[in-house]
Chains A and B, each alone.
Chain A
Amino acid sequence: MPLLGSFCLLFSLALALYCFGAGIISLVRRDPASNRLGETARRAGLACFIAVSGSAFALVWAALNNDFSLAYIHAHSNKALPVAYKISALWSGQEGSLLFWAWLLAGYGFILRWRHKVDQRLVAFSSVILAGIQIFFLLLVNFTANPFGIMDRVAADGNGLNPLLQYPEMVIHPPMLYLGYVGLSVPFAFALGALIMKYPGEKWIHITRRWTMVAWLFLTCGIFLGAHWAYSVLGWGGYWAWDPVENASLLPWLSGTAFLHSVMMQEKRGMMKVWNVWLIFTTFLLTIMGDFLTRSGIVASVHAFARSDIGAWFVVMMVVTLAVCLFFFIKNRSHLKSENSLESLVSRESSFMWNNVLLLAACFFVLWGTLFPVITEWVKGHKITVGTPFFNYINVPIGLALLFLTGVGPLLAWRNTSWASIRKNFAIPAGLSFLMFIGLLALGVRPWIEPPHFSSLSDFLHFSRWLDFAHSCALITIPLATLVATTIVLEFLRGGRVLRPKLETNLFGAMFHLTHRNTRRYGGYIAHFGVALIFLGLAGSAFDKENEQPLKAGEKMQIGAYTLVSQDETQDDNANYTSYASALEVQKDGKKIGNLYPEIRIYKASQQPDHMVAIRSTAKEDLYVIYAGRNDGEVPVIKAFIKPLVSWLWIGVVVVVLGTGVALVPNAAQLKSPVLAQVASTVTAPAFEKQMEPAGVGK
């Protein structure tokens, strides 16, 4: 099998090279013979997927059959590992994950080339660009990080998978993240292809929209599955630590989100063409940058692969990509001339621009904080650490501004919005938001520190000495989330009320039909509603409580309104790990409400500990309990947290996924009459745009 895997890898490289070379020749020559050559290039691209699949299959087969003659399998698997985790060994190490990346890329390429009739020439260009990217990853797995390296002598057992990765979510999280990362190569290929061939009109945007949304959806799922895994497994009570590798996944997500919004301006108004092209170029470059950060060892991270010299390859890839993009941009920039311009600071277009500026600013700040240790090492000779507080101080205000735009933006009219219409649309949401603000103050949420830490005027100027950052943010976030949720609910109600008499149905039926008629707009609203819920969940972290104490059987500990009573201590042993657990009875106001079983596992192959966090989740708060270890007297140490509103974070993600899914479904109008889609994509006349405005927007 290892031989077959190696052969498949080499063969796939040959196929990718042919697809790239023959594809370029056919595109340059443009005669009947070259059309046939182009077809062979396309088929080579299709075959490349089969060859890479063979290679990936060989590696999984080796893991399932405990073939420890392979260095990679020896390092990332062992006999006692459950089957699902043996399969996940494919992406748990440097070499395997690169092979997995190459396989996904070949898979995306396969779908793109299979559906080439959508626009043969554009797909031919995109196919060549994807083949170029494919060559890079296949060169890596063939010559620098080959997963089929053979051991000098065969070991009896392997080192096993990192215990932290032995969790069901970890089987899904990396593939989701990789599907997102790799998927962003497709819109990049389309954008570059469209620029090279000076593609007429905006059809390429329509073709790539679904690709971009699917990739973005996978990336979103991947990021939040990772956050949920960190929350459930790492046992420190949080879900996001601004670790460089976490940041690496956030960078293309931020720029991709900016692209998904700004691309609407190009579709509807023929604007921001240069901006959009560079946004998608940047997003792709950031995915390669993410790979570089994760794999080069340039930044210290708990998630990163071991330090290796592979980083230089990614630098070369980024430089080459940037050079190619710059060359074709300079050559064909006249093709990207805007058809319209912005007319008002208060309009839908300008809200997209503000949204883009903020998203890209956040992207830059995350990159800046991530690379600042490297910069200080260059400048001062030593690395400093930039951690959570820095990222929070810098990014939370940007996040709040984005949340505000999430509520306001969709209700602004295209081209220009009058103050009268703003007042009309935002009076109720703004009123409810203000009431929420007052309510929070009444409930005791205070933005200032009690007692204040200042004794002089200069102390007063240091806001952190008297202003509590977390509580201040919560006090702003929750009313803003209310604003967003209210504007969206009102928008659905308004549309539903208009349709209800025409359809002779109830309000929910009318709102369902409304969504089906314009899935993109209302799917977007649902996703924005999810964003508001996510922010609500994030705001809850300002009110976290924690307590830690040794807890023998029969003893109690108090955290907030909860009392934890230790019932028993248990120890278990199996082929994979030894575990210690406490059985805790949870009481609230003196009444038993359930049991929790926090556990710690010591994995035998690696001797690494891993926490099995016990969580009691409600809409109001999570009771989060970990078995922190055993003290000198061998008494279990229990650490407990109360995490208010955190469930809304996960519910919000589900709503975002649902909304994006709805936005991916074709409109009822598109299904009924393709001519409407034709009109929508072509007409930019003011009269038509007036009809595209949100309900209730007047001048």
Chain B
Amino acid sequence: MTRFRQLALALALLCSVGRMMGADDEKARFEKVGDKMQCMCGCNQMLLKCNHVGCPVSPVMIRDLQASIKVKSDDEEVLDWFRKNYGVTAVILPSSHGFELTAWVVPPVVLTLAIGLLILIISTWRRRMPRVAAGANAALDPELESLRSRARRETEI
């Protein structure tokens, strides 16, 4: 059996175990999806954290969330339902399609570019290093050396 087949078999086995274990743990999904939404009463708090007394919105949203989790198997579908019915601001996580995808793409691209640039700069410096190092060794100043010795003597414990 090739290595690829072994891997595919292992994944398939893992998936079927996942299915057998009950893929739809509603409570966990409720908490996970609820943490990606905000209360729309204007308090700007996360939906499940809204503690504002007598809030007219969060209990309704939480009921809708529980109902959506039951009928929709995909979390992204649940979030899309809320975007459609409560407005795009109900969800506090940019979606993974359309223009909002840029929110997710830009940070890793920028970080990769920055790291690449840093490695490039260091490599360039290292190529120039022998000349600089020779210069630095020649720059040992006897006067400074004597100052250094004096400082050591004066601060010796």
Contact = CB atoms under 8 A, between A and B. Distances in A.
Interface in A470-525: 499, 502-503, 513
Contacts of B49: 236-238
- Give the interface centre of B54, B99, B103, B114 by most chain A CB atoms within 10 Å: B103
Contacts of A685: 136-137, 139-141, 144-145
B92 A389 contact: yes
A367 to B, nearest CB: 11
Contact of A669 (B22, B136, B155): B155
Contacts of B136: 340, 684-686
Given A353-B118, A451-B25, A456 B88 contact: no
Interface string B79-116: 00000000011111110000110010011001100110
Given A452-B21, A460-B14, A688-B148, A673 B126 contact: no
B51 A628 contact: yes
Nearest to B35: A389
A453 interface: yes
B89 A502 contact: no
A302 B141 contact: no
A456 B140 CA distance: 67
A388 B139 CA distance: 53
Contacts of A372: 94, 103
Interface in B22-60: 22-25, 28-29, 32, 35-36, 38, 43-46, 49-54
A354 interface: yes
Interface stretch (A45-53, A193-201, A342-350, A569-577): A342-350
B46 A453 contact: no
B132 A673 contact: no
A582 to B, nearest CB: 14
Given A368-B103, A386-B103, A675-B150, A340 B132 contact: yes
Interface string B1-36: 000000000011011011101111100110010011
Nearest to A376: B99
B51 A382 contact: no
Contacts of A684: 136, 139
Contact of B122 (A342, A385, A453, A629): A342
Contact of A341 (B19, B21, B35, B128): B128
A457 B114 contact: no
A238 B35 CA distance: 13
B92 A679 contact: no
B125 A499 contact: no
B67 interface: no
Interface in A457-473: 457, 459-460, 464, 466
Given A361-B111, A454-B15, A683 B51 contact: no
Interface in A604-636: 609, 611, 626, 628-630
Contacts of B17: 452
B5 to A, nearest CB: 14
A365 interface: yes
A690 to B, nearest CB: 12
A379 B36 CA distance: 23
A449 interface: yes
A384 interface: yes
Contact of A676 (B52, B155, B157): B155
Contacts of A682: 144
A455 B53 contact: no
A212 B29 CA distance: 46
A442 interface: no
Contacts of A238: 49
A457 B15 contact: yes
A454 B38 contact: no
B89 A383 contact: yes
A389 B155 contact: no
A172 B115 CA distance: 39
A622 B153 CA distance: 53
A508 B80 CA distance: 60
Contacts of B133: 343
B103 A369 contact: yes
Given A343-B126, A683-B144, A626 B155 contact: no
A619 B76 CA distance: 39
A681 B111 CA distance: 34
A369 B92 CA distance: 11
A113 to B, nearest CB: 33
Interface string A634-648: 000001000000000
Contacts of B111: 361, 398
B137 A686 contact: yes
Contact of A668 (B107, B115, B155): B155
Contacts of B150: 675
A382 B88 contact: yes
A376 B18 CA distance: 38
Contact of A302 (B25, B44, B89): B44
A387 interface: yes
B71 interface: no
Contact of A384 (B100, B122, B145): B100
Contacts of A386: 92-94, 103
Given A372-B103, A676-B155, A384 B94 contact: yes
A207 interface: no
A585 interface: no
B22 A357 contact: no
23 contacts: A236-B45, A241-B46, A341-B126, A343-B129, A372-B94, A376-B100, A385-B90, A387-B92, A390-B93, A449-B28, A451-B25, A453-B18, A455-B18, A460-B14, A513-B157, A600-B53, A673-B155, A678-B147, A679-B147, A683-B148, A684-B139, A686-B136, A688-B148
Interface of B: 11-12, 14-15, 17-19, 21-25, 28-29, 32, 35-36, 38, 43-46, 49-54, 88-94, 99-100, 103, 106-107, 110-111, 114-115, 118-119, 121-122, 125-126, 128-129, 132-133, 136-137, 139-141, 144-145, 147-148, 150-152, 154-155, 157
Given A340-B136, A455-B15, 8 more contacts: A342-B125, A365-B110, A384-B94, A385-B88, A388-B35, A454-B18, A629-B54, A688-B148
